[in-house]
A and B are shown apart, each in its own frame.
Chain A
């Protein structure tokens, strides 16, 4: 009948010199396109309906996006909640995280916050209080509020940027820490800037631009 497939073997064919990197970006042979993975804060305004949190967390696990922390709470407007996520950049990039979040139906707005956004975390730290004076001195240093005390223990509330909380916990460590409970980061943009509000221009327009914020400085 006919003859089988033919044509030059793979090694006899021309091949282009170019390459793409793992994110599908063409590599300029001169400058190697490199991308430093970053950590960033994403604020999501959602309809406060059952299942929205599992939609968001399910999306993250399904797509192998790394959540470092997630907080959620109501907003000034009835029926709406704000979710604040700290994420580590996955391979397809932070933009892909934002676009996938936007696809969820209860999601109203998504925004990646600028590095100077106000970010706060809260921790409750229960320490041994055999040396109340020294414990109090450390608490003073970090603006920690006493929320409970007993003959053996003292529990403090510390709020602030993540670094401050970490530093406080480390310093309290000298007394012996009994228990810790921490929230994740919650955040708002500065000044008149909207953190994440219903989109004014079409949200899809953002697909045309790539935001590249640097690592949050974490020093406020």
Chain B
């Protein structure tokens, strides 16, 4: 990965003319940590306090774009060890930060200037908000005296982002600004994670201050309950012991709460079949016998049968999104629901919880494990689940004389990479094939836009993921042609930073998911979904300075994938797939999960 410049440390002379008291105010912990830690000079401006807050929080990377109102912060970054990745578009910065947060578990940082810079971040913030991903956004703002006057590049950023952030702050005090950033960082990751934003007026960041930021801490009105009510835990344990058809439903909260291990132990100890939501992919190994894989609109048939017929559901860290539940009336209608969630507002929001367990996913699952004395007697049920796995197995036709099937490409990529490879996607059919035909076994390896469904997420997410992943983890972006077109300017960033990522564009010259719905529900009228003028993505990649590859035939698939993965830097494979390929199984919106269609005729 990229070489970083040696940190610039303050020289004695720089501070010669200053108040000696300031020099004495050395932060206590700077020398204590490690020998190699660079000496930090005391902060002198609001902007330095902002950067110091990030450093104190352990931030190593930040993604952003320069601009007038954020310039003081960038000036302070110049002297920092934090590696700033200059993005081609702020939307990319917020997606990269989001993916960084998913893969690392620590908040991803994005920066933008006021006005258009800030508004360009909004899609990524909304995305992070829907998926509860930890992100901290720092936006420049016009000087306080111009706020409210429609000044150049002024936008009411806190107003615009209130509905799509966990919390946001207009930072108005030079002495507070560092602490505001520390607090935003702590809030982004505490409890139910989410995006936070600090709006930074230029006069505040430019102003003199010697106030070191406080350590990251959440504000006092923010309370998180770690342990669930013991009585309800006991009641739920009783229900589990007596269950005849139990399942565990694992959502994204399992991964965010680092509860995968606890859930795996619980499921295997009591032999309970496991389904995941889309954000929950990776929480349980999909190659395990108990795994029923993903449920919901494009989930496996067996997961949807299991979810529909269970009598006890241990749902952990899921918000029961409609893409999972289908119609509420027919969702797990026989099941008593044990719902574990750190956010009380998720309990009984969409599906009524019979056993509400508010608390940290890992802690509560351990509490349950402790309380359950006997495994449910569910031999018949497990056999039934295995039967469904063979009845509704995932498969596809791939005749040699037809264009390449996308499922084949996804499987080939999976085979060519390690178990810990990180997959990012855009949104559409390719995203669903990436769910269905890749076998995920580890948490934090599946990076996608779930709740918001943001086309264009894949490439910037791969950039962010690359910085968070270990060097031996491959980062693969499975993208759609339409999705890739939306943010492919990010290739310039990947080339500049020499990021080892592989993008496979499943090119069907359609915005395929829309075409599939038009075929199913709009008499095949392909209004605005036919992209018959796609650029040649391999050549485009080369124009950016990346490696370009193209696949037209089955016999090119394996070798080309190997070449692209072997290339040390960004590579793009333009894969020409069957434009008519469709995603099945499918539960039509609001439908009954048990009535999933296996073909178009069954819709």
Main secondary structure, interface of B, reads loop
> Contact string, A1-40, partner B, CB cutoff 8 A, digits 1/0?
1111111111001111111111111100000000000000
Q: What chain A residues lie within 8 Å of B393 (beta carbons)? A: 5-7
Q: Which residues of B contact A (CB under 8 A)?
A: 158-159, 162-163, 167, 170, 187, 219, 221-223, 225, 229, 232, 301, 305, 308-309, 320, 328-331, 333-336, 343-345, 347-352, 356, 358-359, 391-399, 408, 584-585, 592, 594-599, 602
Q: What chain A residues lie within 8 Å of B347 (beta carbons)? A: 99, 207-208
A103 contacts B by Cβ under 8 Å: yes
Q: Is the CB of A4 within 8 A of B396?
A: yes
A218 contacts B by Cβ under 8 Å: no
Who on chain B is nearest to A206 by CB? B344
Q: What chain B residues lie within 8 Å of A205 (beta carbons)? A: 225, 229, 358
* A5 in complex: contacting residue of B170, B328, B331, B396, CB < 8 Å: B396
Provide the bound-state CA to CA distance between A4 and B584, in Å: 10
Q: Is the CB of B225 within 8 A of A204?
A: yes
Distance from A203 Cβ to chain B, minimum over Cβ atoms (Å)? 6
Residue among A24, A55, A58 with the highest chain B CB neighbour number at 10 A? A24
Q: Is the CB of B330 within 8 A of A2?
A: no
Provide the bound-state CA to CA distance between A205 and B602, in Å: 45
Provide the bound-state CA to CA distance between A13 and B187, in Å: 47
Tell me how many residues of A have a C-beta within 8 Å of chain B.
52
A119 contacts B by Cβ under 8 Å: no
Provide the bound-state CA to CA distance between A37 and B167, in Å: 31
Q: What chain A residues lie within 8 Å of B350 (beta carbons)? A: 24, 92
9 cross-chain pairs, A with B, having the tightest CB-CB distances, nearest first:
A18-B333, A207-B344, A99-B345, A1-B398, A204-B225, A24-B351, A7-B392, A10-B595, A25-B352
A211 contacts B by Cβ under 8 Å: no
* A14 in complex: contacting residue of B162, B309, B392, CB < 8 Å: B309
Q: What chain A residues lie within 8 Å of B597 (beta carbons)? A: 10
Q: Is the CB of A207 within 8 A of B358?
A: yes
28 sampled A-B residue pairs with Cβ under 8 A: A1-B396, A4-B395, A4-B599, A5-B393, A5-B599, A6-B598, A8-B391, A9-B598, A9-B602, A10-B596, A13-B305, A15-B592, A17-B333, A20-B351, A21-B329, A23-B352, A26-B333, A92-B349, A99-B345, A99-B349, A105-B187, A105-B219, A107-B221, A108-B221, A204-B359, A207-B344, A207-B347, A208-B232
Q: Is the CB of B344 within 8 A of A204?
A: yes
Q: Is the CB of B345 within 8 A of A102?
A: yes
Distance from A69 Cβ to chain B, minimum over Cβ atoms (Å)? 22
A106 contacts B by Cβ under 8 Å: yes
A96 contacts B by Cβ under 8 Å: yes
Q: Is the CB of B328 within 8 A of A24?
A: yes
Distance from A153 Cβ to chain B, minimum over Cβ atoms (Å)? 38
A51 contacts B by Cβ under 8 Å: yes
Q: Is the CB of A5 within 8 A of B395?
A: yes
Q: Is the CB of A3 within 8 A of B348?
A: no
A217 contacts B by Cβ under 8 Å: no
Distance from A15 Cβ to chain B, minimum over Cβ atoms (Å)? 6
A174 contacts B by Cβ under 8 Å: no
Q: Is the CB of B221 within 8 A of A1?
A: no
Provide the bound-state CA to CA distance between A10 and B551, in Å: 37
Provide the bound-state CA to CA distance between A15 and B596, in Å: 12
